[in-house]
Amino acid sequence: MSQKILLIYNPKAGKGLFVQKLADVIDMFVKAGYRVEVHPTQKRKDAVDIARNAGGFIDMIVAAGGDGTLDEVVTGITMSGRDLPIGYIPVGSTNDYAASLNMSTSILEATGDIVGGEPQAVDIGEFNGDAFVYVAAFGAFTDVSYDTNQDMKNLFGHLAYIFEGMRRLPDIKSYNLKVEVEGKLHEGNYIYGMVTNSISVGGIKGMTGPNVYLDDGVFESMLIHSPTNPMELNEIITALLSGNVESTPLIEYYHTSSVHITATEPIPWTLDGEYGGNHQDVMIRNLKQRVRIILYGDKSDVLHGWRDIPGATGDDELGDGKFEVADSLKVISEEFGKILDVDV
């Protein structure tokens, strides 16, 4: 009997391009011997419920959408307790996780990679009992993704995030935190923090630091102190763009399997770019090789270290003129200086 795929897709993601290719995608799966059941998401968290309640007759779930759609599918499968392989067709605005795994952003090519690929185990994260795929973050600009209108994302792509981020500059807030990492307690005021299992965040490759592995049971954790002047802000941005995040004391960087963060007030968090709720006490754990993603070919270089991936460093991206989000950070730095009425 042929295997059955449950295809869950976000009809609004990626300027609606996937809907135009849907018949071709189904045809490719059918020609490869699969039976296909299709579900377009109807609302936020819909993919969680569909993936969690997928019947025992489903052999694979394919998520088509952005990072948020993949997050919901992974969350649903994790909640179900099943070990279903996951195919991913990235059609979002940023597609960080796909970039981390060198996955094609061509809809039909990504479909072909699923047909010809094999399941490979990767880590995911647990955030106060909820699952996330590659990043949990708080602070400056983390709410830009879910507060940016979907139509704006479709029309302007990365620029939609930039416009929204610029609007937020005067409202950057600092949080007083206690952070426990590997049995050591750190305390300070921070404008941003993220716990990641990815080489790409916000469209920026290499920002999560060196020696990143996606299946080793370890996160890359970064906390950014509050800058007191534009020079310190430039120091932070330079470190982020170069991938040399350990070059400044304004950034705390750790490789760790768990992080415990307590704040003096509830803080809004994002999980894989989607709103994750307000939390004052957060426990984040790495779930080593908890899910299986369908990958085509030998991805050992991708799973086992980002420095071997073409274009993985910020310098390469900037040199090729492709680093739109990195350029936007420079603009944001300049605008921050204007707000303080100081040259950057």
Percent of the chain scoring above 90 in pLDDT: 54
H or E element, residue 131: strand 130-132
109 within 8 A of 28, measured Cβ to Cβ: no
Predicted confidence at residue 208, as pLDDT, reads 78
Whether 96 is in a domain gets the answer yes
Q: Are residues 9 and 50 in the same domain?
A: yes
Catalytic residue among 37, 274, 317, 334: 274
Give pTM, 2 decimals: 0.80
Whether 295 is in a domain gets the answer no
Whether 299 is in a domain gets the answer no
Verify whether residue 274 is a known catalytic residue: yes
Q: Are residues 165 and 96 in the same domain?
A: no
Whether 210 is in a domain gets the answer yes
The residue with greater pLDDT, 5 or 92, is 5
Whether 275 is in a domain gets the answer yes
Could you give the CA distance from residue 282 to residue 266 in angstroms, rounded to a whole number? 10
What's the domain count of the chain? 2
Range of the domain at 21: 4-123
- Mean pLDDT over 159-173 rounds to 54
Q: In this predicted structure, which of 132-141, 319-328, 332-341 has the lowest mean pLDDT?
A: 319-328
CATH number, domain of 68, equals: 3.40.50.10330
Q: Are residues 101 and 157 in the same domain?
A: no
Q: Are residues 191 and 210 in the same domain?
A: yes
Q: Are residues 156 and 272 in the same domain?
A: yes
- Mean pLDDT over 92-109 rounds to 89
Predicted confidence at residue 249, as pLDDT, reads 92
The residue with greater pLDDT, 32 or 317, is 32
Model confidence at 46, pLDDT cuts 50, 70, 90, reads very high
Whether 260 is in a domain gets the answer yes
End-to-end Cα distance, the chain: 65
Q: Are residues 88 and 155 in the same domain?
A: no
- Please calculate the CA angle 36-37-43 and round it to the nearest 5 degrees: 140
Q: What is the pLDDT of residues 257-273, one digit of tens each?
A: 999 999 999 999 999 98
